[in-house]
Amino acid sequence: MRSEEYKEHFRKNFLLAYPVVLSQLGHIMVSVFDSLMVGQIGTIPLAAASLGNSIFTITMVFGLGVSYSITPLIAAADGRRNYTRISLLLLNGLFSNLLLGIILFIAGYFLSPYITWLNQPEEVVRQAIPYINILFLSMVPLMVFQAFRQFAEGLSLTKQAMYISIVANALNIVLNYILIYGKLGFEPMGLVGAGWATLISRVIMALMMGGYILYAKRFAAFHRFLTFRHLSFVHMYHIFRLGLPISGQMVFEMGAFSFSAIMIGWLGARELAAHQIAINVASVTYMMASGIAAAATIRVGNQKGLRNYRAMRVAGISSFVMGVLFMMVSGLLMIAGKNFIPSLYLDDPIVIELASTLLIIAALFQISDGVQVVGLGALRGLEDVRIPGLISLIAYWIIGLPVGYMLCFKLDFGVHGVWTGLLVGLSVAAILLFWRFKMLSSRLSK
């Protein structure tokens, strides 16, 4: 009976997860194709893409973290069939996300000139600043898309965002080709062209997802509160109360990776370019695993709303198993392709050799990365967000980064030392987050 119970949860988790996996993949593939296509025009532009994306990622995950709070709130309300609350969460989630997107754009735009303080190669910084400013502008449509997407996912509707992400990602590739290299009468724009392609594709994503939510008949019951007079500070407070700790946790984690890129930039442009290749590949598997984490949030949050605590626990544990199996396969593929994958980005043999060795380290931390991201998703379903943030702070900033710094600069392990520190931080986070979910879910299911 227990085996059959887990099989049913695996099936439900998979049906929810695979569209989210493909949708999340769309987010990260924007960066991947930027790097792949920019790498063809030189090592310096690729290093500038690495620096720009490392800084922008902190802004992006902060915004995404707030938007993620919409899903468990709606999933719990859906479990209780509270359609009025769902309607109000749609309106206030959209307004909150739009406002936050505008704030993040303004803050990023005015702070971007201070990248010069990071002691990176001068030419890398010069090319990175205009690129990152366009990425900051893309936060506005991205946050609108996220509001509609997280609303749909809270209702267990995950395929629509998948389809839209696939279309937008294909558009981004085409626009990259046209704008980076100067095709169809356009002047070659290089790295800046990649930024404009990203912005345009994200505007299209927001319009398509918004059109689906606002005009599909299945959501008609939730449209009656879409007026300014129903804006509610209470609902916005709940969104930010849950979302800001999620953002904090994500910033601690992604900020560690971004600061790692800054440390690697102190070593030189080639090391930074190699880091960008390896982190691109690791980010793909991470974002795919975060799709499993999103399914865990929905399933755990829904069962918690129904007060079916045993099913809630089994849904979470089965998500961990799925995450581990997926990341094991990912790690094996990284090792198998460690020499081939870097050659897709550029033809600099020194960078390719460095990147291939970093991919081995990335393969080693795949299981830890999968466990920690699924653990975060499952705990969001329990609306437990503060302690996971503290765990991320300890794992990455108190343990992982100092270990990486010591290995890199004091013991002369170079870029490999920084990546070993990331491996240590991810492993600590994985152990603590899995333990916390088991403890909380066990306490509720007794």
Residue 292 located in a structural domain = yes
Quick one: 212 and 260 in the same domain? no
Q: What is the rounded CA–CA span in Å between residue 159 and residue 334?
A: 28
Residue 251 located in a structural domain = yes
pLDDT score of 2: 61
Instruction: Give how many domains the chain has, as a whole number.
Output: 2
Quick one: 167 and 303 in the same domain? no
Task: At 143, list the tokens.
Answer: 């946050």
The domain of 412 spans 239-445
Residue 304: other Cβ atoms inside 10 A: 22
pLDDT score of 1: 42
Quick one: 52 and 83 in the same domain? yes
Counting Cβ atoms within 10 Å, is residue 68 exposed (0-12), middle (13-18) or buried (19+)?
buried
Residues 6+ apart with CB under 8 A from 407: 413, 416, 417, 418, 420, 421
**Sign of the dihedral through C-alpha 78, 80, 86, 89:** negative
Residue 360 located in a structural domain = yes
Quick one: 269 and 222 in the same domain? no
Residue 389 located in a structural domain = yes
Residue 8 located in a structural domain = no
Quick one: 256 and 111 in the same domain? no
Residue 387 located in a structural domain = yes
Final residue belonging to a domain, choices 178, 209, 231: 231
User: What DSSP state is assigned to residue 227?
Assistant: S
Residue 123: other Cβ atoms inside 10 A: 13
Quick one: 207 and 125 in the same domain? yes
Q: What is the rounded CA–CA span in Å between residue 66 and residue 142?
A: 12
How many CA atoms lie within 13 Å of 124's alpha carbon, on the beta-carbon side?
Answer: 28
Residue 182 located in a structural domain = yes
Look up the pTM and report it.
Answer: 0.76
* Cβ contact 30:194 at 8 Å: no
* H/E element, 192: helix 191-215
Average pLDDT of each block of 10 consecutive residues along the chain (446 residues)? Answer: 65 74 69 77 82 85 89 81 84 93 95 86 88 95 94 84 86 92 89 93 95 88 77 83 85 85 87 87 85 85 81 88 92 93 88 94 93 92 87 94 95 93 95 94 78
Quick one: 291 and 410 in the same domain? yes
Residue 423: other Cβ atoms inside 10 A: 18
Final residue belonging to a domain, choices 184, 200, 231: 231
pLDDT score of 367: 93
Quick one: 195 and 257 in the same domain? no
Quick one: 315 and 178 in the same domain? no
Residue 8: other Cβ atoms inside 10 A: 14
Residue 249 located in a structural domain = yes
Q: Which of 390, 381, 401, 402 is nearest to 429 (CA)?
A: 390
Quick one: 120 and 192 in the same domain? yes
Q: What is the rounded CA–CA span in Å between residue 330 and residue 126?
A: 35
Quick one: 317 and 394 in the same domain? yes
How many residues are there in the chain? 446
Q: What is the rounded CA–CA span in Å between residue 71 and residue 81?
A: 15
Q: What is the rounded CA–CA span in Å between residue 343 and residue 166?
A: 25
Final residue belonging to a domain, choices 181, 215, 231: 231
Quick one: 265 and 148 in the same domain? no
How many CA atoms lie within 13 Å of 72's alpha carbon, on the beta-carbon side?
Answer: 28
